[in-house]
Structures are given as C-alpha cells and as structure tokens.
Chain A
Amino acid sequence: MAKGDKVTLANSGWCKRCGICVHVCPTDVLKLGQDRVEIDDIDKCIGCENCELSCPDFVLKVVKVNE
C-alpha cells in the first residue's frame, strides 16, 4: 500500500457478488452492480488493500494509478 494507489477490477468476470469487499472497504468505494462488483467512487479509494486481501475470488487488485 502506498499513497495514490487505487483499486482496479483485475478479473471482474470471476466476481460472485458476495459483498465482502463492499463490507470491508472503509470509504464506500465499491458497490454491487446487477451481476458483479462495480467501482462507485474511485476518488474515495485510499488504496488500503482491505478489499483485495479479503476477496475470495481474486477479483480486485490495488495498483499505482499511473500503472
């Protein structure tokens, strides 16, 4: 985790819409869409990695913004 890191949907097709990432995000960045997780407000993301570490389906990845 470093300043300026942001969440990305690395494998959105693997998402099972369990809601764990939404639950562990401290700043309400993520929301559940019709079929899978969606990024609701990327500006709020502090790059804490809670979602990436808790996701059982390897969907989310926090990366440097300019990556």
Chain B
Amino acid sequence: MAVDIYKYLREDKLPHIWCPGCGHGTILNSLVRAIDQTDIDPDKTVVVSGIGCSGRAPGYLKFDTLHTTHGRAIAFATGIKLANPELNVIVLTGDGDGSAIGGNHLIHGCRRNIDLTVILFNNQIYGMTGGQYSPMTPTGAVATTSPYGNIDQDFDLVDLTRSAGATFVARGATYNPRQMTKLYKEGLEHKGFSFIETLDQCPVNYGRKNNIGGPTEMLDWQKEHTVPASKWEKMPEEEKEGIFPLGVIHRKDDPESEYTARYQQIIDSFAKEDE
C-alpha cells in the first residue's frame, strides 16, 4: 500500500519557502514516513523548533506545533514533556540552533535523558542568515564569517550527545532517505533522549561557496564522505579523518532513568504518603 504522506502535511502552506534542492524538505519527507510507520497517535504528538530555515519545518506539519525562539526548542520541549509526559515530543533543530546558541540545552537534555526525539538538520552552516559558520562547519571551510577558511574545529555531535547521556544516538544523511526513515522511526520509538544528526545540504550558502556544487553534487559528496557505522569501527584512525559514520551509533535501553519517569516516582511517593 502506498503511503499517504500528504495527510501529515499542511498542504495549504506548500510549496515551502526552502530553496531549490535544500535538504530540509527531504528530511521532512522521511520524517512523515517514519511517523506513519510507528503507532504514535498524531493527536498526541507535538513538534517543536527554534529559529532558522530548519525552524520553519514544523509549520508544514499537521500536528500541534510550536515555533519557538532561537536555540530554545529543547527547553520548550522539556516543559511540554514534563507537563504532559504522555505526549510524543519531536524537536527539529538546525546545527546553529541546536549546537551553537542552543548547545547548552542540548547537553542538558541528554544529561536528563528526557524522552524527546531530536532531529538536527546538519547543513554545516547558518542557512537563514546568509552563511555564517556554525560549530558544525568543518575546519578550513569557507563561510561569510570565515572568508579565508574556518579556523575553528567542528563538533562531533554524535560523540558529544553520547557522552552527555543521550540513550539513542544516530546519524543519517539526506542522500539515503530510506535509512533516515528507519533511524527516525527507531528514535521515535525509543524511550529516552533520542538524537539523530542528519547530514543535509544547503546548496546556496555552503555547497556552491565551498566548490562542492549544487544539490546533486552535495548528495554525491555525502556518499563519498560517509560509511556505515559497523565499517567505521574497524577503520584505521588515519582513514577516519573527514569521514562520517552513519547508522545507529549508540543505544541504551534504560526507561527507568528517563527524566519524566523519575519525576513521576517522586509524585507517586507523595501520593503514597497521602493515603
């Protein structure tokens, strides 16, 4: 049976504002398919974003959605989840939104292992504001704020979120939408903090300025610079430079350490005292 993805989209808001070939649309495409494959109730699902081109994503989704301030999506999502733990809360964030201004919320969300599904649109640049470098821009890359090449080191967000306590950590890439859907589905079903970084293309402010090219050349670039996580583990260190492992990278099933579950235990302990 063909999947009807249009029922999850606010069709009156389409076509979306993203540039031709922007990977954000492919992420949205894969996400609605992942939601369709789970049995989560659309009426009990909230999608939250911050600011950026990626921040526009929830506006195209037919769920309860919240477009918040720059970097604060995880903070708002934490509030939603704590107040109503039965809701499925999905955060859509950019690499600037989620790892620069919102980096602190990201690590503390991981530390609490709160049951959110966070999809980070990693196009390695601030798209919306014209191509300033982000903490995910590779060393040496050209951005409007690093015209001679970026001297910063980029984060490895998979390592960072795993060390900070996230219990599901994965990386996908827009050149492989089937894998993206699979990873999003697993992240949605996981109880605890799920983080799925997704390599994404901004042809306008990154690809063309770094001589990679337009959308299709950027997808080919992803293919050439990624390997399955299982292969990555066996690779010699010197071959790993500039290559990203894809797939599920870390998973720990420990629903009792989840934040709202722990909070509920406190509430229950008072209910017992009242008896």
Of the residues B5, B25, B181, contact of A57 by C-beta under 8 Å: B25
Contact call A58/B178, Cβ cutoff below 8 A: no
Number of B residues whose C-beta is below 8 Å from A?
28
How many CB-defined contacts (below 8 Å) exist between A and B?
A: 65
A2–chain B nearest beta-carbon distance, Å: 9
Q: Does A55 contact B (CB under 8 A)?
A: yes
How far is it, in angstroms, between the C-alpha of A11 and the C-alpha of B23 when the chains are bound? 18
Question: Provided the pairs A19-B215, A20-B219 are in contact, do residues A55 and B20 lie with their beta carbons within 8 angstroms?
Answer: no
A50–chain B nearest beta-carbon distance, Å: 9
Within 8 A of B (CB), among A6-57: 10-11, 13-14, 16-20, 23-24, 53-57
A13–chain B nearest beta-carbon distance, Å: 7
Task: Please name the residue on chain B nearest to A23 by beta carbon.
Answer: B216
Q: Does B73 contact A (CB under 8 A)?
A: no
How far is it, in angstroms, between the C-alpha of A26 and the C-alpha of B20 when the chains are bound? 21
* Most A-side CB within 10 Å, residue of B2, B6, B30, B219: B2
* Most B-side CB within 10 Å, residue of A10, A11, A18, A64: A18
Of the residues A10, A17, A19, contact of B216 by C-beta under 8 Å: A19
Q: Does B65 contact A (CB under 8 A)?
A: no
Task: Please name the residue on chain B nearest to A14 by beta carbon.
Answer: B15
Pairs A-B, 4 closest by C-beta atoms: A56-B25, A18-B21, A16-B20, A14-B15
25 cross-chain CB contacts under 8 A: A11-B14, A16-B20, A18-B216, A19-B216, A20-B21, A20-B216, A20-B219, A53-B26, A53-B29, A53-B177, A53-B181, A54-B177, A54-B219, A55-B25, A56-B18, A56-B23, A56-B26, A56-B29, A57-B14, A57-B15, A57-B16, A57-B25, A58-B6, A61-B2, A64-B2
